[in-house]
Amino acid sequence: MQNSNIVHLENVIKTYQQGKIAVHAVNDISLDIKTGDFAALCGPSGSGKTTLLNMIGGLDTPTHGKILLEGHDLASLTRSQLSNIRRDRIGFVFQAYNLIPVMTAYENTAFVLNLQGLSQQQCHDRVMQVLQEVGLAGLENRRPDEMSGGQQQRVAIARAIVTRPAIVLADEPTANVDSATAEALLDLMQGLNQNDNITFLFSTHDPRVMQRAKRLIRLRDGALEQDEVRH
């Protein structure tokens, strides 16, 4: 496996039992996600894209097959090791933002850095820099209920990138915002990808995200239908 592979999937299967029937949510998928990818898992509802994203993020486990993140086999890690990898090496952006309501934009962004044990000064410098990068300078003291949906999603992106992770996993990040906000968020993430070489993997059925992706990974009925790299 080359060093440029952040994620390596080998014959990954996820099976759910529905009564006596075994349903393959993900059916024998092998692929690599490389450093600098701006890739989208796409396909109709029920195609397995969110399940696959959750397994790559260590939030779910495959029934069969292997998932390596930066060479670490996720299945072989202890709960504590897996938790540390999720904290330090993976940034998550969710459809519903998942911000902590009682915390300000600054506190939400700083939350993981505090868990990592950074000094207050290091934490402050990094958070303020990232909030500026995502267009939230001056809004650091606002709580989620004082912000628009687009601003909340920018906080979620700031929180995802502030740890300088190996990869950002974004599950339907444009689903709950209007089209102008969606385009602005995509501009932001595309800029972070191009300028800072941050690797993004989306789960989406939004044509706007698919249009921007440098790589489209199409799923159908849990199987890999097409893997198209665009230049």
Report pLDDT for 179.
87
C-alpha to C-alpha distance for 167 and 33, rounded to whole angstroms? 9
Q: For position 17, what pLDDT does the model report?
A: 85
First-to-last alpha carbon distance for the chain, in angstroms, is: 23
Instruction: Note every long-range contact of 78-87, with CB atoms under 8 Å and residues 24 or more positions apart, other chains counting.
Output: 82/58, 85/58, 86/57, 86/58, 86/59, 87/112, 87/115, 87/116, 87/163
What mean pLDDT do residues 130-146 have?
Answer: 93
Nearest to 173 by CA among 66, 22, 49: 49
Asked if the model's pLDDT at residue 3 lies above 70, the reply is no
Q: pLDDT tens digit string along 8-66?
A: 999 999 998 888 888 889 999 999 999 999 999 999 888 999 999 999 999 999 999 99
- Let me know the angle formed at the C-alpha of 156 by 129 and 117, rounded to the nearest 5 degrees: 60
At 34, is the secondary structure helix, strand, or coil?
Answer: strand
Strand partners, 216: 40, 228
Evaluate if residue 213 carries a pLDDT over 90: yes
- Return the CATH superfamily for domain 38-58+79-229: P-loop containing nucleotide triphosphate hydrolases (3.40.50.300)
CB proximity list for 179: less than 8 A, separation 6 or greater: 208
Quote the mean pLDDT of the chain: 91
How many CB atoms sit inside 10 A of residue 4's CB?
A: 11
Q: Is 138 left (phi over 0), alpha (psi -120 to 50) or beta?
A: left
What mean pLDDT comes out for the span 135-142? 94
Residue 191 has pLDDT above 70, yes or no: yes
Mean pLDDT of the region 213-226: 94
Whether 155 shows a pLDDT value over 80: the answer reads yes
Residue the block writes with tokens 């199987």: 223
Name the strand (E) or helix (H) holding 151: helix 149-161
- What is the average pLDDT across 96-103? 90
Burial 71-94 (b: 16+ CB within 10 A, else e): eeebeeeeeeebeebbeebbbbbb
Tens digits of per-residue pLDDT, 75-91?
999 999 999 999 999 99
Q: What is the pLDDT of residue 112?
A: 87
Does residue 143 have a pLDDT over 90? yes
Global pTM? 0.90
Confidence at residue 1, expressed as pLDDT on a 0 to 100 scale: 37
